[in-house]
Amino acid sequence: MILLNPGPVNVSPRVTAALGRGDLCHREPEFGALLASIRLRLLQAFAPAGGFTAIVLSGSGTAALEAAVTSVLSPHGRLVVVANGVYGERIAAMAAAARLAHTVVEGDWTAPPDLDAVERALSAPDVEAVAVVHHETTTGLRNPVAEVGRLARAHGKLLLVDSISGLAGDPLDVEEADLVVGTANKCIQGLPGMAFVLVREAVIERLLTYPRRSLYLSLATYHEAEVPFTPAVQVAYALDEALCELLDEGVAARIGRHAAAANLLRAGFERRGLRFVLPPELRSNSITALWLPPGQRYVELHDGLKARGFVIYEGQGRLQRDIFRVANMGHLRTADFECFLGALDEVLAR
Ligand SMILES: Cc1ncc(COP(=O)(O)O)c(C=O)c1O
């Protein structure tokens, strides 16, 4: 099955094989070495200039994101959340669940955020951090992280970036941020079950003094103990292998591969008269959102393609009924995307 959903993705035989490396106690030095290797490779891949530490935990991307969101404020602080899609709204929901003071800068789901509104929100005296989604998977929109980072720095606030679907798919300069959240099973091409936060070293000491709002999902807990709870040991083997594979390919080349696949698909969609949800300048490299053709039901499109070996993804939130999404993440070849376009022709012609 070719997975054209935005994670979990198809992975290489090399990553799958790593699952079988055997049983291992997480309290033994061998797991310590494995974790050290994952952390080092994450930093080599995404923070090569140094100055960051990698906190790795078991769970999906949401686990790492919730740990970051609930660890970033002092008892008196406020979080500004930039929300122009489901995942920005989810960050606000995390802040609400933890009863953290927060201001949501809501925006159109098919447009970049209003930076003036972000700046106005940042000027409140109790704001300590701003959170933004790098790649809004809802529509495939790439948010202007650098601009939000510039505003955050100008106002002396921390920048927290959800790059769960962005890292290794679209360029991100972590220097613009203070906390960057990622996951194993999207453009990094590992398996689901591990996620991480890259934290600026100069910031971590401050976070250690803040209240722990969750026993399990606290960055301070993981920073102090490294392996406080039972980790997904075999998934960690696979993540280490996936990172090794990423470094072999090169992060820039991986991003270029995503861009080339997206271009191929988009040229094919255009030839077939499909309509894009976003204008070209807002589109990420790894997912394309399209309006459902008139009279086309998503379920028939999905089932027809699945019968031919391809899994696409439905819309989310208020766009659920009107759009469908095609991701191009994972260990896939050009031929897979060409075959997909052929299958799409068959299904649309029915
Ligand atoms: C931008 C973004 N944030 C958060 C998440 C949640 O990640 P997970 O489903 O791994 O918990 C996703 C998942 O697609 C995402 O795309």
DSSP 152-204: HHHTT-EEEEE-TTTTTTS---GGG-SEEEEETTSTT---TTEEEEEEEHHHH
CA of 271 relative to ligand 1 center, distance in Å = 31
- Only one residue has tokens 């897979």, namely 336
Half-sphere exposure of residue 240, counting CA atoms within 13 Å on the CB side? 20
Residue 166 alpha carbon, nearest atom of ligand 1: 1
CA of 32 relative to ligand 1 center, distance in Å = 27
CA of 61 relative to ligand 1 center, distance in Å = 5
- Beta-bridge partner residues of 160: 131, 179
Residue 185 alpha carbon, nearest atom of ligand 1: 10
The protein residue with its alpha carbon nearest to ligand 1, atom 7, reads 61
For residue 87 and ligand 1, the question of a CB distance below 6 A is answered with yes
Residue 32 token pair = 């310590």
For residue 8 and ligand 1, the question of a CB distance below 6 A is answered with no
Tens digit of pLDDT at every position of the chain (350 positions): 999 999 999 999 999 999 999 999 999 999 999 999 999 999 999 999 999 999 999 999 999 999 999 999 999 999 999 999 999 999 999 999 999 999 999 999 999 999 999 999 999 999 999 999 999 999 999 999 999 999 999 999 999 999 999 999 999 999 999 999 999 999 999 999 999 999 999 999 999 999 999 999 999 999 999 899 999 999 999 999 999 999 999 999 999 999 999 999 999 999 999 999 999 999 999 999 999 999 999 999 999 999 999 999 999 999 999 999 999 999 999 999 999 999 999 999 98
For residue 183 and ligand 1, the question of a CB distance below 6 A is answered with yes
For residue 58 and ligand 1, the question of a CB distance below 6 A is answered with no
CA of 165 relative to ligand 1 center, distance in Å = 7
Q: Largest Cα–Cα distance in the chain?
A: 61
d(CA 208, CA 138): 33
CA of 340 relative to ligand 1 center, distance in Å = 24
- For residue 257, the tally of other CB atoms under 10 A from its CB is 19
Question: Can you list the domains of the chain with their CATH numbers?
Answer: 16-249 (3.40.640.10), 251-349 (3.90.1150.10)
- Please provide the distance, in angstroms rounded to a whole number, between the alpha carbons at the two ends of the chain: 22
For residue 60 and ligand 1, the question of a CB distance below 6 A is answered with yes
d(CA 277, CA 55): 35
CA of 310 relative to ligand 1 center, distance in Å = 21
Q: Are 233 and 22 in contact (CB under 8 A)?
A: no
CA angle 188, 89, 5 (to 5 degrees): 35
CA of 29 relative to ligand 1 center, distance in Å = 31
Q: Are 223 and 53 in contact (CB under 8 A)?
A: yes
For residue 62 and ligand 1, the question of a CB distance below 6 A is answered with yes
Q: Is 230 left (phi over 0), alpha (psi -120 to 50) or beta?
A: beta
Q: Give the 3-state secondary structure of residue 55.
A: strand
Q: Is 156 left (phi over 0), alpha (psi -120 to 50) or beta?
A: left
d(CA 253, CA 49): 18
Strand 135-136 and strand 323-327: the pairing is: unpaired
For residue 196 and ligand 1, the question of a CB distance below 6 A is answered with no
Q: Are 58 and 191 in contact (CB under 8 A)?
A: no
Q: Where are the alpha helices (DSSP H) in the chain?
A: 13-18, 29-46, 61-71, 86-97, 115-122, 145-154, 201-208, 219-225, 233-249, 251-271, 298-307, 334-349
pLDDT at position 350: 85
d(CA 17, CA 77): 45
- The DSSP-derived string for 286-317 is SEEEEEPPTT--HHHHHHHHHHTTEE-EE--G
d(CA 141, CA 282): 5
d(CA 141, CA 158): 23
For residue 336 and ligand 1, the question of a CB distance below 6 A is answered with no
The residue among 142, 244, 234 whose CA lies nearest residue 192 is: 234
CA of 137 relative to ligand 1 center, distance in Å = 8
